[in-house]
Amino acid sequence: MNVNHGFNMRAKDHVNLRDLMVWLFPLPASSSDNEKHDHIIRCMIGAFTDSQCTNALNRLGIKNKDLSYSAFITLRRVCLEHTGNHYIKFKLNNH
């Protein structure tokens, strides 16, 4: 993907999920620290609205309706996998 909207997706092999969520789902600069924190947590577990996802996909330059739906599902799956991978460490350490 060679779309530049202020976030270089090719800058490194691994993109930090938090940084990606901040870029894809921006909040107004006037948001409080608590609002920013809660917003990022919701985004990182895939709890974003269809409208927010549509805006995020537009930021990525994805306009094709079929591709957008697929990307939307993939984005939520990646968020949930990230959460699962984080918590599996705790589960493995307690057994």
Look up the pTM and report it: 0.62
Are the C-beta atoms of 21 and 55 separated by less than 8 Å?
A: no
Chain centroid offset of residue 8 CA: 15
**Domain map (residue ranges) of the chain:** 17-93
Give the pLDDT confidence score for residue 1 in this predicted structure.
37
Task: Tell me how far apart the alpha carbons of residues 75 and 95 are, in angstroms, rounded to a whole number.
Answer: 31
The string of pLDDT tens digits covering residues 3-56 is: 333 444 444 456 777 788 888 889 888 999 999 989 988 888 888 888 888 888
Give the residue from 24, 29, 31 showing the smallest Cα distance to 7. 24
Give the pLDDT confidence score for residue 14 in this predicted structure.
67
